Amino acid sequence: MRGRLLRSVLAATAGYVLITCVFYWHGVRHMGAAFVSDGGDGADFLWAYWHLPHALLHGHNPFSATGIFFPVGVRLGFHTTTPLEAFAIWPLAKVVGEVLAVNLVNLGAVVLTGLGGWVLARHECHDDRAAFVAGAAFMLLPEHTGRINGHWNLNHAWVLPFALWALLRLYDKPSARRALVLGAFVGVAFLTDLTYFVFWLGAAVVIAVARRRETAALARRLAVGALAAAVLCAPVALPMVMDLRHHELDPLPQFGGAQEHSADLLGFFTPSTQHPLWGRLFHAVKGTVFGLEEYPYVGLLILGLALYAVVRRRRLGPVGPWPVIAAGFMLLALGPYLHVNGWTGGRFEYMGFRFSVPLPFIVFHDLPVLSGLRIPGRFSIMGGLALDVTAAVALARLVRGRAVRVQWVACAVALVVVVVDLLPPPPTPLQPEAVPAAYRAIERSPDQGAVLEVPLTWRDGFGQVGDVANNDVLLYYATKHHRPVASGMIARLPNKRRAALYGFPVYRQVLSLQHQPGFTDKVDFSDADLRAMGIGFVVYHRSRPMPDVLAYVQGLGLPQLADDGDTVVWHVP
């Protein structure tokens, strides 16, 4: 029995590795040479991957960072640092190098996402072939294939099916060992991303209600699992509590942008506009090029099979709580009010927005911590997983009892249809490992002063100050020269820290030279003012021209340390 299970796991893993290699070949063949990253959010994660273990090894709190937004710094309790992946990459990088380690973890997450979907679906449908179709559908969700380039926290969606599988296994056979396994997977989900932990918790509540008689009998074992999860979550949960205590999480303005990142009802039934075969056909229909959250397509075959399982449940048999989970999460994905191909109506007005059909997500704005789940379209990830499992159950029961050859052909055809329907967009963008040569001058310098990058940029999930076009990659450069930087990116920058940054005359004057709206300060800072702030280096990029800043810095007469043709580095004596 165990030998057969092992062969099934190995076969499924090999299949998902093959799919990953085929559809991400551009990244796979450069795995040791360049990061599979867009140079934007991906570069932010590269900074986090470096910062967390670096801070801990030097005896500092990894969830407090003065290396960005210098000298104010930020706290990272609620930032998307993916600590589990950061601390997994650090020792691996010592063996195979940083680029290969990062790519192995993030491309490996694609394989694990498929395998997790297979494990969960197999548990429910008891058919390896139907489960493989479900796993492929989950790993190729446009919500996933659009994440590999930068949203690396959400790229690790495998934590959801594995944690749910562990929960169901505990229901099957309550034991202390299985309770500990459940706690481990829940802790892994929390250490990867708070969003996924909340998604798992929501689905777990539905399962507990559906199996309430068993839940009461499982209370003791569930408590053991909860305790194990709490121990694993503590290194991140405690910094979150401290951040809340110190008011590092401001109340969201209005809906916090949820209205802009809600799923459109049309998106459930129309393919991604980035589909390589027929995506362009839907540009005119949707009126937009692409939206990860706005158009959470799961595939027509998956939708059809799931709907058939619900409508014909008397014939096929019960399908468990999955249709309820799918419906609940897809409803939440629609956001605070209904969008239908951009239409929202105007019957009601609330928080400055007009709409006709309010939806349950509207109450999230008033819930502590949960209000931070301000991108409702992402709820479709769990909804998609539930639909995939429901579809697998339907497919397995439709082919059961037929000739073996018919079963294989039916599942193979279903797999081909799903894969073609969910083809990811090529090519995978790459970010070079190398940094501009001029930064070596900073790295070699004995001066530990901070780096003022021009253009000066501060960004969070609600907007930015400064020119941010291709600017996040500068955070990756900071991992090489090991100096604090004036710029920074964080999920949510508290108003008190933003105000502190605005309080520095030098920064205000630089932003004025950059013609940032709202900044018209008289510019008269000197090299002594820079040094008094702790600035040791000024860096300018000709590819990001800011002529007024360049002219002023040159007028200060700072000694030039390096010039590689694009990047210029001056030293502040």
Per-residue pLDDT of the chain (573 residues; tens, 9 = 90+): 678 889 999 999 999 999 999 999 988 999 999 999 988 888 999 999 999 999 999 999 999 999 999 999 999 999 988 999 999 999 999 999 999 999 999 999 999 999 999 999 999 999 999 999 999 999 999 888 878 888 899 999 999 999 999 999 999 999 999 999 999 999 999 999 999 999 999 999 999 999 998 998 899 999 999 999 999 999 999 999 999 899 998 888 788 888 888 999 988 988 877 788 887 777 766 555 456 777 889 999 999 999 999 999 888 888 999 999 999 999 999 999 999 988 899 899 888 889 999 999 988 777 766 767 888 999 999 999 999 999 999 999 999 989 999 999 999 999 999 999 998 887 778 999 999 999 999 999 999 999 999 999 999 888 888 866 657 889 999 999 999 999 999 988 999 999 999 999 999 999 999 999 999 999 999 999 999 999 999 999 998 899 999 999 999 999 999 999 999 999 999
Question: 3-state DSSP call for residue 156?
Answer: coil
Contact criterion met (CB below 8 Å) for 161 and 119? yes
Count of other CB atoms within 10 angstroms of residue 429: 17
By three-state DSSP, how is residue 288 classified? coil
Paired with 560 in beta bridges are: 570
Q: Which helix (H) or strand (E) covers residue 343, if one does? A: none
**CA 212 to chain CA mean position, Å:** 33
Output the DSSP codes for 103-136.
HHHHHHHHHHHHHHHHHHHHHHH--HHHHHHHHH
What's the distance, Cα to Cα, between the start and end of the chain in Å? 72
Predicted model pTM? 0.94
Q: Distance (Å, rounded) from C-alpha 455 to C-alpha 285?
A: 38
Kindly give, in sequence order, each residue whose CB lies less than 8 Å from that of residue 10, ignoring residues fewer than 6 positions away.
Answer: none
pLDDT at res. 84 = 94
Q: Please answer whether residues 36 and 107 qualify as being in contact, where contact means their C-beta atoms are separated by less than 8 angstroms.
A: yes
